[in-house]
Amino acid sequence: MVLLNKIKNKLGINYRKKRWPGLIEAYKQYLPVTKKTPIISLNEGNTPLILSDSLSNLIGNETKVFLKYDGLNPTGSFKDRGMTMAISKAKEEGREAVICASTGNTSAAAAAYASRGGLKPYVLIPEGFVAQGKLAQALMYGAEIISINGNFDKALEIVRDLSSEHPIELVNSVNPYRIQGQKTAAFEIVDDLGYAPDWLCIPMGNAGNITAYWLGFKEYLKIRNLKLPTMMGFQSEGSAPLVKNIIVKDPETIATAIRIGNPVNREKAKKVKKESKGDFQSVTDEEIIEAYKILAKEGIFCEPASAASVAGLIKNKNRIQKGSRIVCVLTGNGLKDPDCAIKNNDAIFKKNIDPSLKNITKILGY
Ligand SMILES: *Cc1c(COP(=O)(O)O)cnc(C)c1O
């Protein structure tokens, strides 16, 4: 047996035990699926939990900071976790069309999974506030896109009314199957670490994801008799309805994925905060960009909304107990919003250079 393992290690077999089947197949005993559910999957989930040396050092005090890089899902955000469930169940129920309001990532995921499952995706987006990469995805994955002269909250109001009157499945995070699929990210963290972190730092828009993580931790840790994490939710200062406990009429932030003034999961989020003895705080756009750059310099490119979790962690540096284990959720991939990266970086970028060896050698300082 030992010898066999040695040979397997040499061949690299132990590091790649089995093809990852997607999160429904992997965690089906925890999910509301049956043998009859047609599983629509792009093998989502199983995203890396990356130890961040720069953040661990920055926080200090023997803290270890891990990043749950959910931007590595098939369409580049955690929304795929919820969408594989929502679309599979919509298909099981015989639906032929789905609809969502979206700041971008939900529309990308809905379009990809619906098209893959043979359902028609309709998406409503706020005109001018969807990042380029996300719009490109919705267009390519075959959605019918309706861009409204209004914000996300208005779009959601319309799709909720529409779906209650017509046979179109609503796949925003009010759809309970979305939360079920998304809770698997918490399972993966516990599977990777062998325990739950002391803190989970996460950005909040509609607050579906923080609700899903908490559900996942509760379910998974209870049967393992392990300690639950403290849930730390972060919003942008100009779009902080949960922090301020108000409705924000005109939310404003560089982090368009969390530009939401009236979160549908408000009551659930409040419960998460209370049960986990957690906290909701806001971070400025400047702090978000600062965190965005720190991450990129360690090779991890996330979108601005995701960096809110890290900005929030940094803000709480002096509150963190010695030897803490912290996970920051990076909800979306940096490639989603190339404009933001091009406008906010410290790179040296010289243009219109004469292409001669001599000239370029000189520029490099040799
Ligand atoms: C959707 C989204 C969020 C917010 O998640 P909620 O479940 O709405 O709180 C955060 N970051 C990114 C990248 C997202 O796409």
User: Once rounded to an integer, what is the mean pLDDT over residues 253-265?
Assistant: 95
AA identity, residue 130: V
> How many angstroms is it from 330 CA to the middle of ligand 1?
10
> How many angstroms is it from 103 CA to the middle of ligand 1?
9
Query: Is residue 77 lining ligand 1, measured as CB closer than 6 Å?
Result: yes
Query: What is the pLDDT at residue 168?
Result: 96
Per the CB < 8 A criterion, the answer to whether 142 and 121 are in contact is yes
pLDDT grade for 356, boundaries at 50, 70 and 90: very high
Q: Is the pLDDT of residue 6 over 90?
A: no
Query: What is the pLDDT at residue 284?
Result: 98
Query: Is residue 209 lining ligand 1, measured as CB closer than 6 Å?
Result: yes
Query: Is residue 340 lining ligand 1, measured as CB closer than 6 Å?
Result: no
User: Once rounded to an integer, what is the mean pLDDT over residues 152-174?
Assistant: 94
2 exposed, middle or buried (CB, 10 Å; 0-12, 13-18, 19+)? exposed
Q: Which residues 6+ apart lie within 8 Å of 260 measured at CB?
A: 103, 152, 153, 205, 206, 239, 241, 251
Instruction: Please give the Cα distance from 211 to 182 (Å, whole number).
Output: 9
Query: Is residue 241 lining ligand 1, measured as CB closer than 6 Å?
Result: no
Query: What is the pLDDT at residue 173?
Result: 87
Query: What is the pLDDT at residue 83?
Result: 98
- pLDDT digit string, tens, across residues 201-255: 999 999 999 999 999 999 999 999 999 999 999 999 999 999 999 999 999 999 9
pLDDT grade for 3, boundaries at 50, 70 and 90: confident
Query: What is the pLDDT at residue 12?
Result: 62
User: Once rounded to an integer, what is the mean pLDDT over residues 333-338?
Assistant: 97
> How many angstroms is it from 106 CA to the middle of ligand 1?
9
- pLDDT digit string, tens, across residues 58-104: 999 999 999 999 999 999 999 999 999 999 999 999 999 999 999 99
> How many angstroms is it from 228 CA to the middle of ligand 1?
22
> How many angstroms is it from 204 CA to the middle of ligand 1?
6
Place of tokens 């990356």: 50
Chain Cα centroid distance, residue 115? 21
User: Once rounded to an integer, what is the mean pLDDT over residues 30-54?
Assistant: 98
pLDDT grade for 336, boundaries at 50, 70 and 90: very high
Please give the number of the atom of ligand 1 that sits closest to the Cα of 182: 7
Query: What is the pLDDT at residue 15?
Result: 61
- pLDDT digit string, tens, across residues 43-55: 999 999 999 999 9
